[in-house]
Amino acid sequence: MSELQKQDTEILAVSIDPPADLQRAIDRIARNGPAPAFPFLSDPGHRVIGRYGLLNPGNARGIPHPTTLVIDRQGVVRWKFIEVNYRIRPTNEMVLEALEAVRGGG
């Protein structure tokens, strides 16, 4: 991201995993490169995940669909990428384009 985008953007990771498991994930990532520069938030009760309709009804453990959202300052979802296969994720370019569109540049 550009410096301007960094000033206007907040990245959060939300998971149903407890904080200790999230820390292990962060540590695993950091062993192979830099640690994530954004918080990992625990949502075991699905309050946030459920609010955005991301629960996977076919999963008995309540694991949500892998999702990337771009949400504006008013809380409106302006762009989303939802996938059943956790291995398929949006590219950085796709997310950056969505951010630029919300900022009014696209």
| Domains of the chain in sequence order | 3-103 (3.40.30.10)
How many CB atoms lie under 10 A from the CB of residue 49?
Answer: 21
pLDDT of the residue at 3: 74
Instruction: Please say if the pLDDT value at position 22 is more than 90.
Output: yes
pLDDT tens digits, 66-102: 899 998 888 889 999 998 888 899 998 999 899 888 8
- The band of 11, judged by pLDDT with boundaries at 50, 70 and 90, is confident
**Average predicted confidence (pLDDT) for the chain:** 87
Terminal Cα-to-Cα distance of the chain (whole angstroms): 15
Mean pLDDT of 9-14: 88
pTM for the predicted model, two decimal places? 0.76
